[in-house]
Structures are given as C-alpha cells and as structure tokens.
Amino acid sequence: MPIQYFRKAIKWALSLNQPRKFYLKIKIMKKSIALLILCCIGFSNTEAQLLKKLKEKAEKAMEQKKPVTATETNTPAAPATENSNKIESKTPVKPPSYCDSIFVINAEETFLYDESEVFAVNNQTSYAFVVQNNKYEYFVIENGIRTGPFKESPVKSVKVNEEEDGSTSSNDYDKVSMGDDKDPIAIQYSKTINGKLFIVFNGKNYGPYDHVGKMIVSRDKKQFFALVTIGGANAMTAKMGMGNNFMVNEGILKQKAGDGGMSMAMKFSVSKGFKHCMAVVMDQTAQKVISITSTNKTEEGSMEALYSGSGNISFVNDNGDIVSVPTQSPTQILLNGKEVASFKVPIKSMSRLFITPDISKSVYYEKGKLYKADGTEESLSGILFPKVITIKNITAVYFFKIYKNDSGARVVYLCKKEL
C-alpha cells in the first residue's frame, strides 16, 4: 500500500477534536503502523525511517489527547448535569430565611398552585391551600387546619396562565344573573315567604325583593352583599331583574344603582376586604353604562364602549373608590376617573395587579418580574401566583414553594419579601 495513504490517515486522525474518539482511532492506527513496519522490510531505508517517525508522532499525540479523569488532575470535576440530579438531591436545598413551613404534602398528593390563596384578615396573614390525592379527592389546608375530602375544589381557581398574554377583560364571576339563569349563592339564601322573595341570612329575613341577581357572602359567613331588583316598569320585567336595582347588605345599605325603571344590571363585585361593593348597570333612560359603588362614587361609559369592549376594566377598593384600567391605554390606573399610577408595561391580567392603600405604590406581576408604579422593577423568577398584601402599612409579596426536608418529605413554605 502506498505510503501517502498512511500520511493522509495520520493527518486526519490528528485533526479530530473529540478526545475519546481520537484515542480509539489512534490505538487502531498504532497497531496498523506497527504491522506496516513489519511488512515493509523490503522498502527502502528512507521509507522505513519515515514510517518510524510517523509511529512515534502518533504515540506522542495519543498521550497528549488522552482523556483526563477527575482523579488524575487537581482541576475540579465539571458541575453535575441533569443526569446526576439524583446525587445532588441527597442534600436537601434549604429554604430562604424569609420562608416559613406551613404543612407537609403526602406522597400521593399534588399541590394545586392556582387553587390557593393568601389574604389578610384582621391585619394578619391567612392562607387557604388546596391539595389533590390520587383518588381525585380535594383537601383544604387553611391556617394549619386540614379539612376534606371534597369532590370538587373548595377554592375557586383564578385560571390564569402567567405566560399567556391574555387580556384585561374581567372574570365571569361578577356577572349578574337574569331571568331563569339564577345565581347559585342567591338560590342558597333565597326563600319565598307568603308569596314574596326574601334573603334569609343567619336567621334574619331581608326583603322583600322581586329578584336577587347576585349575592356574595364573606369567607366567615357573617356578611353579605347583594344586588336586587325592587319594582320597575312592570311586575314581569322586575321579576326578571330589569327595573330598579339596589345594592344591599346585612346592615343598613340600600344604595340605588341607575335611575331608570328599566335599568339592567351587568356586573356586581365586592372589595377584597369585603367593605364595599360596586354595581355596573345599563341605564336605559340615560342610554349610558354606569358604575356605582356603595359610597355613591360613579363612573359613566357609553353603550358603544360596552359593545365594542373599549371601556374601562373597573373594580371597587376598600375605601369605596372606583379603580379602573382603560383598555385603550392599559398602562394607567385611574381612581374615580383620574390617573394615579402608571406602569412601564401594559396590564394584561387584572388578577396580577395588586392595588396598595397608596395606589401610587401599586405593583403588577408578569413573567417573573414585579413592576412598581414608580417605574422600578424587581425580579421574582421561579415563583407562581404571588400575592401582594399590605398589613399595618407594610407591603410585602407572598408566594409559596416546596422544599424537601432531611427525611425526604415535601414541605410547603410560605415566603414573604417586603417591598
């Protein structure tokens, strides 16, 4: 075999960048060169000498390219890859100092992040977390107390995917029922007495009403707000929910929503602290859409804006003010129609907007970042469904994570970082 072929083979082997493959190729090449030398006794001395040099060059290169193990060098081994996670998991990751353990998840249970809540009650932090077992049963862990099993999740899901753009449209939970489409909470507490409709709540009768379009009960079942119809253009339409609409509660509230006898209620909501409520009605007389709170704060919109979806997304705060985000300029926050805050990014999900007592310090969470109304931002990557709560003038973001303890059990931690 001509010597030039072996020269090309050696040159090709030396050009390899993968040490392990090179090592195997060189090992084979070494044997081939040795065999070639034996077979080339009849070659000229010049060619034999050249083959010897090639062999020595290959051996030297083999020693230089040979893979080095961790025990043969002082250089630290490469960081563990995903294939060695089992080794790393033997040493549990410790939670940060600002996290507190609240309960342990059993081996067959799954923690439902989007079915859990963190909220403030009487200036204290409370929580309600939901877990599901392999039998599709639900349990609630509320402030350390576990209840269940339940066939359905006891906490309403916010159903928000933080990675989706979504829209600023409000959820369906605040829509008012009309006609035969009855609100389930209103049905639970409504009772016909002597041919008239009442709300029966904690042993007391409230009414009579022609229609109960929406009823919202507090978590402790001690308070309620409801949107009802009392009279109107005629008895038939009033019993369907079109007429004189009023916001009522278990106390003295009886606030009219809209002026016309043919007003149609569209939405009804309650502030987070369960202190005030707001109704959105279509006033047939004025041909306007009116938002009105239990403190008589109002905001008007056109019928065209309602149908085109270009109006404001509004809700009521614990002061009874109307807080809204214009759909045409969703970086703003309006308080009773006037701008009080603005963000660097558009507000795409109302459930990720957290209004603080000082609205100019409100925050918005999206895709791992917490945006503040003052223009600054803070990274909060690796968490799900954060909650921003203000207690005693201290605003903090709350979120939860799962860590394994020394025995391998999965522990849920509630974490708090002050803003």
pLDDT of residue 380: 79
Instruction: Give the orientation angle of helix 45-65 with respect to helix 19-39, to 10 degrees.
Output: 160
Judgement on whether residues 205 and 105 belong to the same structural domain of the protein? no
Judgement on whether residues 206 and 283 belong to the same structural domain of the protein? yes
pLDDT of residue 21: 46
Which of left, alpha, beta for 46 (phi over 0: left; psi -120 to 50: alpha)? Answer: alpha
At 232-279, the pLDDT tens digits run: 888 898 998 889 999 999 999 999 997 766 788 889 999 988 999 999
Instruction: Give the orientation angle of helix 3-14 with respect to helix 19-39, to 10 degrees.
Output: 160
- Residues present in the chain in total: 419
* Cα–Cα distance for residue pair 238/134, rounded to 1 Å: 48
At 193-204, the pLDDT tens digits run: 999 999 999 999
Judgement on whether residues 213 and 332 belong to the same structural domain of the protein? yes
Asked if 282 and 305 touch (Cβ cutoff 8 Å), the reply is no
pLDDT of residue 141: 87
Judgement on whether residues 38 and 58 belong to the same structural domain of the protein? yes
Q: Where are the beta strands (DSSP E) in 220-342?
A: 224-229, 242-243, 245-249, 254-257, 263-270, 277-283, 288-293, 298-302, 312-316, 322-326, 332-335, 338-342
Judgement on whether residues 178 and 299 belong to the same structural domain of the protein? yes
pLDDT of residue 52: 53
From 15, 48, 73, give the residue that closes a domain: 73
pLDDT of residue 204: 96
Domain count, the chain: 3
pLDDT above 80: residue 24: no
pLDDT of residue 201: 97
At 273-308, the pLDDT tens digits run: 899 999 999 887 777 888 999 999 998 887 766 666
pLDDT above 60: residue 44: no
Judgement on whether residues 58 and 94 belong to the same structural domain of the protein? no
Judgement on whether residues 323 and 246 belong to the same structural domain of the protein? yes
User: For the CA atoms of the chain, what is the radius of gyration?
Assistant: 35
pLDDT of residue 356: 83
- Taking the model in full, what pTM does it have? 0.63
Strand, helix or coil at 180? coil
pLDDT of residue 203: 95
Q: Grade residue 162 by pLDDT with cuts at 50, 70 and 90.
A: very low
Judgement on whether residues 285 and 197 belong to the same structural domain of the protein? yes
